[in-house]
Amino acid sequence: MPDKPPLRVKFFTICASNYLANAITLGRSVSARHNGSKLTVFLLDDRPARVAGVEHIDVVPAKATMPLADWHHYQCFYDVLELATSIKPLCFEHVLADDNQLAVYLDPDIVVFKALDAVISAIRDGYEVVLTPHILTPLPADGKMPNDLSIMRAGIYNLGFAAFANTARSRAIIAWWRRHLRTQGLADIAAGLFTDQKWIDFLPAFSAATFIIREPGYNVAYWNLHERTLTRGEEGWRVDFIDGSRCDLVFFHFSGYTPSVGQLSKYETRYRDKPPGDTWQILKEYSELLNASGHGTLRGRKIAAPCFENGIAWDRPCRILYREILRADPDFGNPLEDDTFLSFAGDVAPGDHLPRYVRAILRLRPDLAEAYDDGRNKVAFLGWLDKHGPSQLGLERDLLRQLGIACGSS
């Protein structure tokens, strides 16, 4: 029986340039394990002028996946983490529109050690979506983080990895996901949301063609080391599972790891600087790979805020106001075009004595409302904004002046 032709598979990630060293490292590992495949990197900001080691990646501006007005919406509505995750369905649609049979997303802080054969096999067997659960066994009830409840709140499946086949049903699911993430991709656990991830809990119910990878070698990370022990031998990296079985490490997810900090992940309290097995060795090797990819230079890059047409930068109070606007007027339009948003921000809402922009500031800092009599102590409050607003709240002085909110303004 003749061999089946290889699937047309496209791997991709999403990041800003301060994570480009991670993406380059991921790209090298994907290329090495998947016959020279190039990783597409959807970049959220401008590409640095000189970056070494990019031969295994294709850099595509993230804004190329959507109309400019939509790009401005996502930039203005979300912070950088939420932006990177909320556009994931758009990136899947972009990849699948290019006649690929399978699109595989991987977070930039992943390294692939073996080919993702279980993913390819699942698609060949007729599955259309492939996911990995955070854990395969309950976490210890030891008072440490993460625990079963924190996993449930964040989502059963880790969206550092996801794969979609190019079928009508999977494209419909991606479109459903995209519609929700236009405004409901917030990192807001209290509201029952966690970026793009929590929504995916629906998928096994929505589609019987969803394949859940239960091989312990997939998506090893701080959240499942209670059940998986990494060992390094002559044959490479292996994973010892809690039931006594052993398998190859397929990919490790270095979520929350910062080489200079010296602990497993900023998101966990169970292991800190004493992870089990040979985990510390894999962290050390990853640190070396990042340094070889320019991490030391790239990690410190600042991500520029979106700007109005007059060049003034968008900030956090603007984001708060924009989210409020869309709750009342989903068709508000491009927030960065003309003066519509700026006029709204500078106006006083009915029943209030403060411009909407200032009210947004006080929502961020209720202590200021108390200290300055809800903004009625105007001279002192404006003086504080001028002196401390940029450093403590990231406010733009040019925006304060544009809105007439500055010391000496009428």
pLDDT in tens, 268-319: 999 999 999 999 999 999 999 999 999 988 998 998 899 999 999 999 999 9
> Which H or E run contains 295?
helix 295-298
What are the tokens at 342?
Answer: 């700026």
Q: Is 373 exposed, middle or buried (0-12, 13-18, 19+ CB in 10 A)?
A: exposed
pLDDT of 226 over the 60 cut: yes
> For the whole prediction, is pTM greater than 0.85?
yes
Q: What is the mean pLDDT of residues 222-250?
A: 96
Give Cα separations from 296 to 249, 259, 282 (angstroms): 27, 10, 19
Pairing, β 129-131 against β 210-212: parallel
> Which H or E run contains 150?
helix 148-154
pLDDT of 339 over the 70 cut: yes
At a CB cut-off of 8 Å and minimum separation 6, what does 291 contact? Answer: 259
> What is the distance between the alpha carbons of residues 239 and 244, in angstroms, rounded to a whole number?
10
Would you state the pLDDT for residue 407?
A: 56
- Residue whose C-alpha is closest to residue 40's, from 53, 21, 54, 19: 54
Tokens 């598979």 -> residue: 9
Q: Where are the beta strands (DSSP E) in 16-167?
A: 39-43, 57-61, 102-106, 110-112, 129-131, 161-165
Average pLDDT, the chain: 94
- Domains of the chain and any CATH numbers: 9-298 (3.90.550.10), 316-402 (no CATH)
pLDDT in tens, 142-175: 999 999 999 999 999 999 999 999 999 999 999 9
- Residue whose C-alpha is closest to residue 253's, from 267, 274, 270: 267
Local confidence band at 410 (pLDDT 50, 70, 90 cut-offs): very low
Across the beta sheet with 39-43, the strand order is 57-61, 39-43, 9-15, 102-106, 161-165, 129-131, 210-212
Three-class secondary structure of residue 140 per DSSP = coil
Would you state the pLDDT for residue 409?
A: 46
pLDDT in tens, 8-58: 999 999 999 999 999 999 999 999 999 999 999 999 999 998 888 899 999
